[in-house]
Amino acid sequence: MDESANGLKEAPCLRPRVECEKQAQRLHSLQQALDRNKAESDSFVYRVSHDLKAPVVSLYGMASVLLEDYGERLDEHGKHYLKRVMANAGMMERLIADLLAYSRVGRSAPVPERLQTETVVRNLLNQCSAEIAEKKIQITLRSPLPEVTFDRMRLEQIFLHLFTNAIRFMGNQPHPAIEIGGSADGRSATFHVRDNGIGIDPQHHEIIFGVFERLKEVEVDGTGMGLALVKKIIDLADGRIWVESTKGEGAAFFFSLPQ
């Protein structure tokens, strides 16, 4: 009687455990399928981008040689068309280069190291010094920035793309300014890059992190891959990136990295 009673008592307990194990197995299988699909997608993008690069470079080179060697035989319309071919080939080359950079993220394992974030940021600002001086942008660095354990090259890519994005979309702001700051709470380090440029309409806050997505309000150089690359790096690190902005009132990009 006791054994029968024990059996009746245990049955309801075993059933949820079995269901949980089955559910866990299904989730594991789905995760493996997603990882395979992602790896195949990245591999496809890498192969296609790599294969397209050579003919595009060749097209640009032949057009430039044609313009240089036979330019005197062409009228203004002919020269104009050749220059357009070169401009579009150059743009295609930049798109392919950015696609290759995007596909490479995640193909190699990161090399984490303890980084003085402020040193990284100051070095990158020096790289952008010509553009900063040209637009007379006031830079404010809220020191000290928290240290992080992260891959140096990937951290540099994050900040560099956020800096160039802020510079490009400054618009006609008479007193352009960019602020960099950060904080840490023991679990994660959070940074921000804030500008007083053209701002971003809230309906575009998620869209701008997509591949080849860019704001149309201002004509700027670039392929629209910068923020997509930044998001991919941060997602792979189990971090988070978001933007707070209103059109015409500047933008603040925040990202957090787990520590």
Question: pLDDT for 213-228, tens place per residue?
Answer: 666 555 556 667 889 9
pLDDT of 20: 79
> Which class for 194: exposed (0-12), middle (13-18), buried (19 or more C-beta within 10 A)?
buried
| String of DSSP letters for 161-202 | HHHHHHHHT-TT-SS-EEEEEEEE-SSEEEEEEEE-SS---G
pLDDT of 112: 93
What is the per-residue pLDDT across 30-41, written as a single tens digit (0 to 9) for each? 777 666 666 666
Low-confidence residues in the chain, pLDDT < 50? 1-10
pLDDT of 118: 96
pLDDT of 101: 79
Q: Which domains does the chain have, with CATH numbers?
A: 1-104 (1.10.287), 112-258 (3.30.565.10)
Q: Sheet of 177-184: strands edge to edge?
A: 138-141, 177-184, 188-195, 251-258, 240-245
